[in-house]
């Protein structure tokens, strides 16, 4: 598993070669530009579960590796906050996931990510409850609360909180799903005269999971605010 995660990190380095710098000159932004920067970063770093609504079950357990790429709406700002490190058209996040099923149709999950060539580290937590667990003739419906926290960046404390509802329906090995929700972003700078930005972004996502027995492969489209993300995940269930 560690080898797979390392491989994704290496691939991300090749995909994202133009942005090899740390966020270290945040104070060069105006307050208006800091809000735009926070919107981009909040969308990119918010939680993406990349899983259907159906619960894993009390004995369910999954480990997964994945990657999310988010298109930046303000790529020029990244050059400013990295001291000329280059503009960033898309941010790529390799991730290591863990999921565990609990009683009463409750699932918990977490992920860890580190953006190659930068000082960005990210952790995320999820609590999901399946109102309907789904079956042969009925869909699964779940509500989810999640959060992420940025670390490694001395000049910025950023966290997101997410609440959404999703629906999925399995067809043999194929399970499409979709959902809507909101993301709340707290972006607190520690540079220059910048002040904290707090805001809410709407969220829509849709994806599909293919069950391959002991493993599964999922892809997901996400629109948070005005930023678009695509995720892929390979999971191993026990």
| CA contacts within 13 A on the Cβ side of 22 | 9
Token pair for 218:
């999922």
- Please give the pLDDT value at position 56: 93
What is the mean pLDDT of the segment spanning 205-221? 95
- Please, what is the average pLDDT of the chain? 90
CA distances from 26 to 18, 43, 172, 195, 198 (A): 19, 18, 50, 11, 17
> pLDDT tens digit string along 127-147?
999 999 998 889 999 999 999
Question: From CA 154, how far away is CA 234, in angstroms rounded?
Answer: 32
DSSP track, 46-102: S----S-SS---TT-EEEEEEEEEEE-S-THHHHHHTTS----SEEEEEEEEEEEEE
- Please give the pLDDT value at position 218: 97
Token pair for 142:
């779940």
Classified as helix, coil or strand, 16 is coil
CA 195 to chain centre: 25
> pLDDT tens digit string along 216-231?
999 999 999 999 999 9
Q: Is the model more confident about 182 or about 172? A: 182
Classified as helix, coil or strand, 3 is helix
Question: From CA 192, how far away is CA 111, in angstroms rounded?
Answer: 32
- Domain ranges within the chain, ordered by starting residue: 2-237
- Please give the pLDDT value at position 88: 81
Q: Which residues pair with 96 in a beta bridge?
A: 65, 112
CB-based contacts of 30, cutoff 8 Å, min separation 6: none
CA 14 to chain centre: 20
pTM given for the model: 0.89
> pLDDT tens digit string along 78-110?
889 988 767 788 999 999 999 999 999 999 999
- Please give the pLDDT value at position 116: 80
What is the mean pLDDT of the segment spanning 72-81? 92
- Please give the pLDDT value at position 20: 53
From the candidate CATH numbers 2.40.170, 1.10.3470, 2.40.30, 2.40.128, the one assigned to the domain spanning 2-237: 2.40.128
> pLDDT tens digit string along 6-65?
444 444 444 444 445 789 999 999 999 999 999 999 999 999 999 999 999 999 999 999
Q: Is the predicted pLDDT of residue 5 greater than 50, yes or no?
A: no
């Amino acid at each position: 598993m560690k080898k797979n995660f390392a491989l994704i990190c290496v691939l991300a380095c090749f995909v994202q070669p133009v942005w090899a710098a740390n966020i270290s000159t945040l104070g060069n932004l105006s307050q208006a530009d800091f809000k735009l920067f926070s919107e981009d970063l909040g969308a990119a770093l918010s939680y993406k579960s990349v899983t259907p609504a159906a619960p894993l079950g009390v004995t369910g357990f999954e480990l997964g590796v994945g990657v999310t790429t988010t298109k930046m709406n303000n790529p020029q700002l990244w050059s400013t906050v990295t001291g000329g490190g280059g503009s960033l058209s898309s941010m790529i996040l390799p991730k290591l996931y863990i999921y565990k099923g609990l009683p009463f149709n409750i699932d918990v999950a977490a992920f860890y990510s580190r953006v190659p060539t930068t000082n960005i580290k990210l952790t995320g937590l999820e609590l999901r409850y399946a109102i309907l667990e789904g079956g042969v003739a009925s869909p699964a419906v779940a509500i989810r609360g999640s959060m992420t926290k940025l670390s490694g960046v001395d000049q910025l404390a950023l966290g997101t909180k997410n609440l959404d509802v999703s629906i999925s329906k399995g067809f043999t090995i194929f399970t499409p799903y979709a959902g809507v929700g909101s993301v709340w972003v707290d972006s607190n700078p520690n540079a220059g005269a910048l002040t904290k930005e707090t805001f809410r972004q709407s969220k829509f996502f849709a994806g599909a999971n293919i069950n391959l027995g002991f493993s599964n492969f999922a892809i997901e489209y996400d629109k948070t605010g005005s930023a678009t993300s695509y995720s892929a995940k390979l999971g191993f269930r026990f």
